[in-house]
Structure 1
Amino acid sequence: MTTELEKQSPELASGKKLSWAALFHLDVKTYTMLLALLSIWVIFTMATSGDFLTSRNLSNLFRQMSITGILSIGMVFIIIAGHIDLSVGSLMGLLGGVMAVLNVWYKVDGLLAITMTLALGLVIGIFNGWLVAYKKIPAFIVTLGGMLVFRGILIGMTKGTTVAALDSSIRFVGNAYLVEGVGIVLGVVAVAVVAYQSFAGRKLQAQYGLEIAPAGAEIAKIVFAAILVGIFITVLNSYQGFPVPVLILVIMAVIFSYILTKTVFGRRVYAIGGNAEAAKLSGINVTKMNLSIFALNGLLVSIAGVLLCSRLNAASVAAGQNAEMDAIAACVIGGASLMGGIGSVGGALVGALVMASLDNGMSMLNIETFWQFIVKGAILVLAVWVDIATKNKSK
C-alpha cells in the first residue's frame, strides 16, 4: 500500500539523495491551487482598483476565512478517511443558535454557554460517528439526514426569529483584535517552530542513516517562511491588530496538522482512507477510528459555530447555510481526494482562502448572488477534474 509520504515525496521515502529540485518539487494539484489563488487576487485587485489588497480588506478576508478554515480542518479528516459530512453547515448554525439562546434567553454566562456549546458539538459528533462506525449507515446518509434535522431543530428552537445580542465575552471571540506586540511575538514563535522542526527533521534523518537535504535548501525554506509570516503579521497589524478568530484558526491548524502528520492516529486516518480493509487486517481498529474522526469534526464545527455567532452578534435560522459546500470545496481545492487517503490540513486552509477570496472579491464588486454560486460550483468541479486527471496520468 502506497503511503502518503511516498505519494508526496518518492525521493524521501526511498532514501535517495534529495536534490534542490526534488526538495522543492510540487505536484500538478499544488501548482494549480497556488496559481488559482494568485490569479484570483490579481483579478480582484485590478477590478477593485487596488482596494482588495488593502490591509483593512485583507484583515476582514482572513477573519472571514477563519470560519470556513476551521470547518475545512474537520472536513479534511473526514474526507481523508473516505467519508463525507453534509451536515456541518446546519450543525454550525444549530450550535451557534444553542449558544445564543442560552446566553440571551436563559442568561447563562458567556463562557459557560461557550463551554456547553463545545461539549454539545462533541457529543453530536460522537453520535454521528456511532451511526457510521457501529450501525454501518453510510456517512452520506447520516449527514444528509443530519443536515435536515439540525436545520429543523434550529428553526423550531428559535421560533424562526433572530436571537441577539450576546454578552461581551462571547463577542470578544469573534470580533476582538490583539495588540500589535502580540502579533509580532506570535510571528517570532511561528518562525522558531519552523526552524526547530526543520533541523529536528535533519537530525532524525541522520540518526536513521537517511540522506539529508542540502543545508542551504533548509535555510532557504526557513527564510521564505519567515518572509511570509512577516508579511502576514505586518498586514494584520497595520489595520487593528491580530484578529482573535485568526489566532484560533492558527492554533487549530497547528494542533490538527501535527495530529495528522506526526502521530500514529494521523497515519491510521490515511491508512483507513487508502484501504479500510487492509488497515483492519493490519490491526487498526477502524470502527473506533471512524468514531474518533467524527467526534473531532463535531468539536471543530462547534468552534466554528461559536465564531460565526460571535462575529454576527446574533443567531439566525439562515446561519451556516451552504457552509458544508464551502468546506468540502476547500478540501478538494486543497488537494484532498474524495476517494480518501489523500489530503492535508495546510492544503485545506489554502482552499478555504480561495473560497473566502471569491466571496470577498465578488461581494466587493457587487456581483449578484447567483453568479457567486455559479463561479464557486464551477471551481469545485474543476478541482475534482484536476484530481481525477492527475490520478489517471499517474497510472
Structure 2
Amino acid sequence: MSVQVNTGNAPEKSRSIWAYLKGSNLQMIIMIIAILFIMLFFSVMTDWSYLSPRNISNLFRQTAITGILAIGMVYVIISGEIDLSVGSMMGLLGGVAAIMDVWLGFPLALTIVITLISGLLLGAWNGWWVAYRKVPSFIVTLAGMLAFRGILVGVTDGTTVAPTSDAMSIIGQSYLPNMLSLSLGIVGLCGYFAWQKRQNQLRRHYGLTVAATSKNMSKSAITAIAILGVILLLNDYRGVPMPVLILSILLILGMFISTKTSFGRRIYAIGGNIEASRLSGINVERNKLAVYAMNGFLVGIAALILSSRLGAGSPSAGNIAELDAIAACVIGGASMAGGVGTVLGAVIGAFIMSSLDNGMSMMDVPTFWQYIVKGTILLLAVWMDSATKKRA
C-alpha cells in the first residue's frame, strides 16, 4: 500500500493568504499600520501630549492644505504627468488674495471668486503647454514654479501682506459648533450607508458578486466609529476646523469623480496607456487640460485656507509644498508611471506627512533633519512602488 503525501497545501495556503491581503487592499493596511506606529512613537516621545485634543485639531488643520493639494496632484499623476508648480502657485494665489483683502479691501466673496478663477486659469495654462504644445510636464511646471514665485515676490514687493480681515479668517481659523459637526457626521454616514446599500442592490440585480453581509457590516461599523470618534475628539477641543470640513467635502467629490464618472475612467485610461486611449476615441489633450485646470482650482482653495490661517500673504508661502503633495500621493499608492492611484490614498498619505511634520516639530527636531526624513520616506515609497511592479 502506498502513501501519498500532499505537498501542495502550503503553497495553496500561502496563495490564499496573499489573495486575501490583496482583496483587503494591502496598500491601505500598510498605511494604517504606519499611522498607528507614527502615533505611538510620537506619543511616547512627547509624554502623550501628541494625542491631546488640541494637537490632534492642529494636526488635522495641517493635513487640510496638503490633502487638498494631494487631491489635485493625484489626478495629474494618474494621467501620467507631474506638477512641480503647485507650491509657488499656492503662494502666488494666497498673496493675491491677501492683497485684495488687505490693500484693496475687496469683499470676501469677490476675493474668493477671483482667487479660484485665477487658480483655474493658471492650471489651464500649464495644461495647455503640456497637452497641446507637447512640452514635457516636468519642464512646464518647473518653469511655472520659478515664474509664479517671481511674480509673487514682484506683486508683494517682497513684503508680507498683513493682517487679513476678520471675514477672511473664517476660511482657515473658524470651527464648526459641536452639535452641527456631529449632525453633519451622522447625516453623512447615513447617506454613505444608503449609497452602499443601493450599490449592492444594483450589483445583485446585474448578477455581480457582492461582499458577505458580515464583511459589509464590519466595514460600516469601522467607518462609523472612526468618523464619529474623530469628530468627538475634535469637539473636545474647539470643534471641527473649517479647513477639515472643506477637505472632507473635496475628498468625497474627488472619490466620486475618480470612480463613478466617465471623466475619472478616462484619466486612468490615459495614464495606463495613452496610445490605446487615443485609438479608443478619448480626447487625450482635452482631458489633460481639464486635469490641470482642476488641479489649479484646488490649489486656489488651498491658497485661501493658507492665507486665512496665517492671517497674511507671504513671499515664502507654499515653499516646497509641491514635494509634500507628491510624496503624499506616492505614499498613498499612486504610481509615477501613471494609471494607478486613489484620492483616498493621497489624503491618507497627506495625513502621514503632516503627522511626521507635527511630531518632529513637537520634539524640536532640527529643520534639516525633517527634510532628510521626508526625503528618505519619499525615496522608499517610490522604491517600493517600483519593486512591487517588478514582482508583478
Q: What TM-score do you get using the length of structure 2 for normalisation?
A: 0.94
The residue type equivalent to 1:268 in the other structure is R
The equivalent residue for 2:111 is 113
Letter in structure 1 aligned against 2:88: S
Residue 236 of structure 2: which of 235, 238, 258 is its match?
A: 238
Tell whether 2:228 aligns with 1:227. Answer: no
1:55-70 aligned at under 5 Å gives the runs: 55-70=53-68
Q: Report the Cα offset of residue 161 of structure 1.
A: 0.4
2:238 is aligned with 1:204: no
In structure 1, the partner of 2:316 is 318
- 3-state SS in 1 of match to 2:237: coil
Question: Which residue does the alignment assign to 1:133?
Answer: 131
- The 2-side partners of 1:273 and 1:179 are apart by 42
The number of residue pairs the alignment matches comes to 376
* DSSP-derived class of the 2:334 partner: coil
Partner of 1:347: 345
Q: Which residue of 2 aligns with 1:159?
A: 157
**CA separation in 1, counterparts of 2:334 and 2:239?**
32
Please give the alpha-carbon distance, in whole angstroms, between the structure 1 residues aligned to 2:141 and 2:271: 18
Distance 1:350 1:169 in 2: 30
Aligned residue number for residue 6 of structure 1: none
- Greater gyration radius: 2
Asked if residue 382 in structure 1 is aligned to residue 380 in structure 2, the reply is yes
Looking at structure 1, the residues matched to 70 and 297 of structure 2 have their Cα atoms a distance apart, in angstroms, of 12
The residue number in structure 1 matching 2:288 is 290
| Matched residue, 1:77 | 75
Corresponding residue of 1:330: 328
Contact preservation (8 Å) 1:94, 1:153: yes
The offset of 1:114, in angstroms, is 1.5
Change (3 A) 1:81 1:68: same
Offset at 1:227? 0.6
Is the Cα–Cα contact under 8 Å of residues 74 and 346 in structure 2 kept in the other structure?
yes
Provide the rounded CA distance (Å) in 1 between the counterparts of 2:72 and 2:382: 19
Which amino acid in 1 is paired with 2:300? S
Question: Partner residue of 1:190?
Answer: 188
Q: Which structure 1 residue ranges, 5 or more long, are not aligned?
A: 1-18
Show the counterpart of 1:360: 358
Q: How far apart are 1:26 and its partner, in Å?
A: 3.3
Using the TM superposition, give the Cα deviation of residue 335 of structure 1 relative to its aligned residue in structure 2, in angstroms: 0.2
Q: Is the 8 A contact 1:94 1:151 kept in 2?
A: yes
Q: Name the SS for the 2:23 alignment partner.
A: coil
Distance 2:192 2:99 in 1: 42
Among candidates 30, 34, 37, match of residue 35 of structure 2: 37
Aligned AA for 2:317?
A
Contact 2:101 2:168 in 1 (8 A): no
For residue 171 of structure 2, the aligned residue among 170, 173, 191 is: 173
Preserved contact between residue 198 and residue 218 of structure 1 (Cα < 8 Å): no
Unaligned runs of 5+ in 2: 1-16
Deviation at 1:29, TM superposition (A): 3.1
Aligned to 1:273: 271
Moved more, 350-359 or 187-196: 187-196
Shift of 1:253: 0.6
- Please tell me whether the aligned partners of residues 72 and 294 of structure 2 are also in contact (alpha carbons under 8 angstroms): yes
Give yes or no for contact 1:28–1:390 (8 Å, CA) kept in 2: no
- Deviations along 1:232-289, one digit per CA (max 9) or x if unpaired, are 1111110001110000000111111100011000000100000011001111000100
Check conservation: 1:85, 1:324, Cα contact below 8 A.
yes
Residues 95-114 of structure 1 correspond to what in structure 2 (within 5 A)?
Answer: 95-114=93-112
